Amino acid sequence: MTDHLDYGVTEDRTMPAVAYALYLLGFATAGLTSVVGVIIAYSSQATAGPQTRSHYTFLIRTFWIGLVWCVIAGMVLGIGIPLSFILIGIPLLILAKVMFALGAVWYGLRCVVGVIYLAQGEPYPRPYANLV
């Protein structure tokens, strides 16, 4: 009786896991560790296998889409602050707060879903998707 052994090549999942952890730690560090995480993703993507490359692609897109979303929300906030002195900017301040909150939920959800796929040893199925 022979035991079933899987001789398939398994890719190292350490660096994508580190990048996901840095992204999630970005909530506590105002995004500074996310910058380190995207640098890791960019530098590791070229030498990664297809499975981890999908995670790196997903991480890079998550960073840039999240950054653009934060810049747009910041612009809404920047317009709303001076206009709030004459009370017409208050809706813009509320909109900016909602945008930041939705962006944070989107960012965190993408990171958690990516970690789940990575922990299961699977490539991210839709790395170019804009939602999850």
Residues 3-48 have pLDDT tens digits of 444 444 568 899 999 999 999 999 999 999 999 999 999 999 999 9
Q: What is the pTM of this model?
A: 0.89
Residue 34 makes CB contacts below 8 A (sequence gap 6+) with 22, 23, 25, 26, 63, 66
- pLDDT higher than 90, residue 95: yes
Q: pLDDT tens for residues 106-125?
A: 999 999 999 999 999 999 99
Question: For the chain, what are the domain ranges?
Answer: 14-119
What residue type is 70 in one-letter code? Answer: C
Spatial distance between the Cα atoms of 124 and 116, rounded to a whole number of angstroms: 9
